[in-house]
Amino acid sequence: MVALAQSSAAGALALLFDPEPLLKQYALKSLNTLVPQFWAEISEHIALIESLYESEELPQPAHDQAALLASKVYYYLGEYDEALSFALGAGSAFENDSRSPGTEEYVETVVSKAIDRYIHGRTAEQAGEGKLDPKLQGIIEGIFRRCIADGEFRQAIGIALESRRLDIIKDIYEQTHDTSLLSYAMEAVLDTAFPLAYRDQVLKFLFPLFPAPTSDAKSAHVYSLTRILVTLNSPEMTVHFLNSLVPRQKLLAYQFAFDLVEGGGQDFLEAIRKDLPEGNEESKPIYDQLRKILLGQESIKLYLEFLKRNNKVDMLILKNTKDALEPRSSIYHTALTLQNAFMHAGTTSDIFLRENLEWLALANNWSKFSAAAAIGVIHKGHFQESMNILGPYLPAQGAESGTGSQAYSEGGALYALGLVNAGVGSGQEVENYLRNLLRNASSEVVQHGAALGLGVAGMGGKSAEAYDDLKQTLFTDSAVAGEAAGYAMGLIMLGTADRTSAEEMLTYARETQHEKIIRGLAIGLALIFYGRQEEADDIVKLLMAEKDPILRYGGVYTLALAYAGTSNNAAVRQLLHVAVSDTSDDVRRAAVTSLAFLLFKNPAQVPRIVQLLSESYNPHVRCGATLALGIACAGTGLQDAVDILEPMTRDSVDFVRQGALIALGMILVEQSEASSPSLAPTRALYAKIVSDKHDDPMARFGAALGQGLIDAGGRNVTISLQSRAGSRNTSAIVGMVLFCQFWYWYPLAHCACLAFEPTGIVGLDENLKAPKFEFTSNARPSLFAYPSLTKPPKKETVTKVATAVLSTTAKAKAREKRKAAAEGETVADDKKDGDVEMKTGEASTIRNEDVSPISLAEGTSTPKSRKSEPSSEKLSNFSRVTPAQLAYITFPTESRYQPVRVVSTRPPPSAARTPKTPSAAALTAEHYAGGGGILILTDTRSGEEAEYIEFETQAVPPATGAAPAGQNPPASAPGRHIALDENAPEADPPESFEYPFDHDT
C-alpha cells in the first residue's frame, strides 16, 4: 500500500495548542521536517512558536526544537539575521540537524551568517567595543572542530584569519606539521585586503612556527620565509634570522641574502648590512660575503653576464623596421629607438647604434633625448662603467654646454645614468653627481634629465637632500623641469606615506598653471602611497573629489598603487565605477589600466573582468582595457587575453590598435612557437603593420614597441610585477606605472626596462663563483625554445613568360615542315629566346602581399618527416629558463652540484605526459614563478678541482672566416662593444702573412 503524500501541516500545528508538553514536543519535532514544504502555512503561527521557545514549562530539548523551527521559518521568509539568532538559541538541535539530508542550503546560509557575525564581533571585541555572544562562540567552535575532523584545514584557516583566531592556526599546524598550510595562511593574509597592522601581526605570528630551514632537506618553505621578511621590512628580525643560519647553514644564508635583494627595498637592505655583526674568526668571512651580496651589486653583475652571454636579438627585425619607418619623422625615430632599447636591454650590445650612425644623427630635440636615454636601457646594470659609457654625452666639467641642441643629448644621458644605476644599492656617487647637476644646470632640458635620473637611481632611498633639491627645481615653475621633478619626488619618497611631502606636492599642484607639472605631481603622490592600503584612503578621497581631471587621474593611480597586488574588492569596485562614470576620458582610461596593478597576482581573472570594457563605445576605455590585459597578463601567454586583444588590433581608432599591439608584445614575451599558437601570427602582424606606409603612425608606433617587448632583453627576460618568492616587485610596478605615461611623454616609456626580469638559472658555489654543471629540463626542447630567426627575403628571379602563338602562325609552320619533309630537308626550330613551353600542372604563384599574415604564418609549416623529438634536454649554467619551464627543471642525483633550496614550489609534472601548453599550467599551479634565479649550490665532491665559467670581459677575438652571404648578421659578438677604459692596453697587431698572388686569376 502506497503512503499518501502529506498535503498540510495543520495536524501538527493543532498539537501545538495541546496542554500536554510531550505532545507539543512531538509537534515541534514533526514540524521541523515539514518546514521546507509548508513554511508558508507554519509562518502564520510564528508568534506561538516563539512563545514556546521562551516558555519555562517545556523541557530543554523542546526549547531547542522550537528555536530551530523558528530559525527555519525566518530563513524561508528571507530574514537571515532572525534565523541566525534563533539558530544560536537552538543549541545542540542545530548541530544535529546540520547532518540531516535536505537541510544543506539552510545550514550553509546560517553558518555563513554566523561566521560574518562572529568576525564582526571579534573585531569589535578586540577594539574594546563589546563582548562576544557565548552561543555564537559555541557554533563557531563546532565549525572549527568539524572542519578539522573532515580535513578541511584551509577552510578553517580562512575563518580563523578573518576572525583573528590565530590560536586555531597554531593548533592545526601542531596536529599536521604541514608547512604548506602555514604558507597558505601567509598568502591569504598577504593577497587579500587585511589591514596593515593585522597583516604584520599575523606574519610575525607565523614566522616562528615555520621549522628552521636546512640545505639538506631543500625546504620548500624558503620562499615563504623570504616573502615574510621582505613584507615585514624588519631589519632586526631579518638579522636575527640570518644569525641563526651562520655558520652551520652558511650556503642557505647566502641564498636568503640573494632572495632578499630581489624583493627588498634599498633602505631595508642597507639597514640589514649595518646591523649584521662582525663575527668571530670563523664567521667573519661569511658575514663579509653576506654584506657583499646584500649590497645588490652581485646580483646585477650576474644577470648582466647572463644577458650578455645569451643575447639572441634578431637584428633583421630591427633592420626591417629601420628601412620601413621614415627616420626624419620624430615619432618613428622614437619608435625605433625604443624598440632597439627594449630588444637590447641589459645586453650591453650597442651594435645596432654603431651600424646606423647616419640614422642616429637624424634625431633632433626630444628624439635626441630619447636616443641618449636608450643607451642607459641597453647598458642597464653595467653600473661599474656607467660614467665611462655615457662620458661622451654627459655635460663637460659638471656644467652643460651652451648650445640648445647639445642640451637634449646631455639631458638624455643623465636620464640614462639613472637607468643604468637603477636598483644599485650604493648609488651615492651617482646620486651626488646628479644632484649637483640639477642644482647648477640652467637648461630645463638638462634639469629634466637629471631629475628623472635622480628619481630612478634613488628610488625608495628616502633621501631628504635629494628631495629638497628636486623641490627647489619644482619651485622654478618650469613646465619641463617641474614635471620630471614631480615624478622624481614621488620616486625618492616611494611608499613612505609621508604626509608633509604629500601636502606640499598637492598644494603646489593646485597652485601651478602648468598641466605637465600637475601630472608629474599627481603620479608622484601615487608613488608616495605605494603599498600603504588603508593609509591612502583619505588622500584618494581628496583627489577623486578634485575638479581638475589631472588630479583625479592621480587619485586613480594612488588607489591602484596603495592596494597593488591585493585584489581588494572595494578598490576594484571603485575603479570600475570611475571607468564608466568620470567625465574625463583620461581618467576613465587610467581607471581601467589601473585594474592591472590590483589584479596582477591573479592574471587569469583579468580577461573576464575587462571583457565588457574592451567592447565599450568609448575608445579611451577600450585602450585602457588593452594595457590592463598587457600588464596583468605579462609573460603568461594567456590565450584568453590574446583572444580579446586580437580583434582590437583591427579597431577603427588608432590609439586602441596601438595599445593592443603593445599589450600583445607584453603577454607573448618569452613564449615559444610550440607553446603559444598566437606567436607567429602576431610577429607577422607586427611586420605587416610596420612596413605598411599607409597605416596610422600610432599603430605603427605600437607595432614597433610590441616588437621590442616581445623580444625584450635579447629574448632572455620576462615582464613580471612580482618576485620569484611572490612578493611585489617594486621596481617593476613603478616602471610599468611610468611606462603608462608614454601617452603624454614618450621618454618615460624607457622605464618599462625596470620591469624586465632576467630568466637565467645562475648557479654559484660557496665562493660565489659560477662552476660548470648541467641540469635537466623534463620537457620537449621545442616547448621552451627560442623563436627561430627571421629569414632574409629571397631574391625573386624573373621567369620568362611564354610567347603567345597565333593559330595562323602554327598552321604556316606546319605547312613548311611538311614541304621540307617532302624535299628531304630539316627545318630548324624557330623558337625564340622568349618562347617558353608552359608545363601542365604548373600552378600560378600567389603574391605575398595578397595573403594575410596569419595565413602566411600558418602556411609556412609544411608537414615534414622528422625524427621524434626527445622528451627532455640538458642545460648548462647560465641557461635561459622561462617561468613556465621552471616546474620541469631537475638536478640529476648524480650531479656534483645540488641547489640548497627547491628550484620551484610547484610539484614536478608527471613524466607520463609532456604538457602541450605550459602557460595555462603555470597559471593554475602557481600565482608567481619568475623564471630562473640565482641558486647557491652545495658541492658534493668538494675535494675535486672545480671548473669555473669565465665571464666575458676579454677583448673580442678576431673572426676566423667571413660569414656566408645571405645569412643574418650575428646577434651580438662576445666581449665588450664599446671602449670603456682609456688606460686599457692596446690589442696586439695581427700576425704577419704573405698573400698568395700566384693563385690570382
In this predicted structure, what is the pLDDT of residue 350?
A: 87
Query: What is the number of other CB atoms lying within 10 angstroms of the CB of residue 503?
Result: 11
Three-class DSSP category at 940 = coil
Please determine, for residue 967, whether its predicted confidence score (pLDDT) is greater than 90: no
The reported pLDDT for the residue numbered 549 is: 93
Cell for 243? 644569525
- Confidence bin at 381 (pLDDT 50/70/90): confident
Q: Which of 243-247, 336-340, 799-803, 807-811 has the lowest mean pLDDT?
A: 799-803
Q: Which residues contact 611 (CB under 8 A, 6 or more apart)?
A: 644
Confidence at residue 577, expressed as pLDDT on a 0 to 100 scale: 93
Percent pLDDT > 90 in the chain is: 24
Task: Report CA Rg, the chain.
Answer: 35
Q: Is there a contact between 367 and 334 (Cβ–Cβ < 8 Å)?
A: yes
What whole-number percentage of the chain has pLDDT above 70?
Answer: 84
pLDDT exceeds cutoff 60 at 680: yes
Name residue 560's amino acid: A
Cell of 475: 619651485
Predicted confidence (pLDDT) per residue in 306-342, tens digit: 999 888 898 999 888 888 888 888 889 999 999 999 9
Rounded distance between C-alpha atoms, residue 332 and residue 162, angstroms: 54
Instruction: Look at residue 159 in the predicted model and tell me its pLDDT.
Output: 85
* 3-class SS of residue 796: coil
Q: Whole-prediction pTM value? A: 0.81
The whole-number pLDDT of residue 576 equals 93
- What would the mean pLDDT of 543-569 be, rounded to a whole number? 92
Q: What whole-number distance in Å separates Cα of residue 575 and Cα of residue 593?
A: 9
Range with the lowest mean pLDDT among 290-294, 338-342, 368-372, 993-997?
A: 993-997
List, for residues 155-208, the tens digit of each pLDDT value: 888 888 888 888 888 888 888 888 888 888 888 888 777 888 888 899 999 989
pLDDT value at residue 981 = 43
**pLDDT band per the 50, 70, 90 thresholds, residue 588:** very high
What pLDDT, on a 0 to 100 scale, did the predictor assign at position 786?
Answer: 87
Are 361 and 329 contacting, i.e. CB atoms less than 8 angstroms apart?
no
pLDDT in tens, 853-900: 444 444 444 444 456 778 888 999 889 988 888 888 888 888 888 888
Query: Does 435 have pLDDT greater than 80?
Result: yes
Q: In this predicted structure, what is the pLDDT of residue 11? A: 76
- Please provide the DSSP assignment of 146-214 as one string: HHHHTT-HHHHHHHHHHTT-HHHHHHHHHHH--HHHHHHHHHHHHHS---HHHHHHHHHHHGGGSPPP-
Strand positions, DSSP E, 405-560: none
Strands 760-764 and 933-939: parallel
Q: At residue 371, what are phi and psi to the nearest 5 degrees?
A: -65, -40
Residues 741-748 have a mean pLDDT of: 91
Q: Give the pLDDT of residue 620.
A: 94
Give the model's pLDDT for residue 621: 93
849 DSSP β-pair partners = none
pLDDT 10s digits, 511-525: 998 999 999 999 999
pLDDT on residue 62: 79
- Judge contact between 598 and 563, C-beta under 8 A: yes
Which residue type occupies 607? Answer: P
Helices (H), 3-133: 10-15, 21-43, 46-54, 60-76, 80-90, 92-97, 104-126
What are the angstrom distances between the C-alpha of 653 and each of 43, 633, 743, 846? 61, 23, 15, 31
Phi and psi torsions of 691, nearest 5°: -85, -10
The residue written with cell numbers 597592522 in the block is 197
**Residue 746 pLDDT more than 70?**
yes
SS (H, E, C) 462-488: CCHHHHHHHHHHHCCCCHHHHHHHHHH
Strand partners, 760: 880
pLDDT score at 830 = 47
Contact (Cβ atoms closer than 8 angstroms) between residue 617 and residue 629: no
Across residues 801-806, what is the average pLDDT? 68
Q: Residue 497 in 3-state DSSP?
A: coil
Q: What's the pLDDT score for residue 963? A: 34
Query: In this structure, what C-alpha cell is assigned to residue 492?
Result: 625618492
Cis amide leading into 247 (omega within 30): yes
Residues 898-955 pLDDT 10s: 888 888 776 655 443 444 444 444 443 344 445 568 888 888 887 788 888 888 743 3
Measured distance CA(854)–CA(715) in Å, rounded: 22
Dump strand ranges (E) for 609-683: none
Going by pLDDT thresholds of 50, 70 and 90, the confidence category of residue 65 is: confident
Instruction: Name which of 262-271, 444-453, 698-707 the model is least confident about.
Output: 262-271
The pLDDT tens digits for 400-427 are 455 567 888 889 999 999 999 887 755 5
On whether the CB atoms of residues 700 and 332 are closer than 8 A, the answer is yes
The most distant pair of C-alpha atoms in the chain lies apart, rounded to whole Å, by 142
Could you tell me where the DSSP H helices lie in 870-940? 918-925
The residue count for the chain: 1001
Q: How distant, in Å, are the alpha carbons of 176, 244, 247, 255, 322 from that of 250?
A: 29, 10, 5, 9, 51
Amino acid letter, residue 416:
A
Q: What is the pLDDT of residues 710-734, one digit of tens each?
A: 999 899 999 988 888 778 888 899 9
Looking at residue 980, what is its pLDDT?
A: 41
Provide φ and ψ at 450, rounded to 5°.
-65, -40
Give the model's confidence band at 597: pLDDT under 50 very low, under 70 low, under 90 confident, else very high. very high
* Closest of 587, 577, 598, 569 to residue 623, by C-alpha: 587
Higher pLDDT, 296 or 379: 379
Q: Average pLDDT, whole number, for the chain?
A: 81
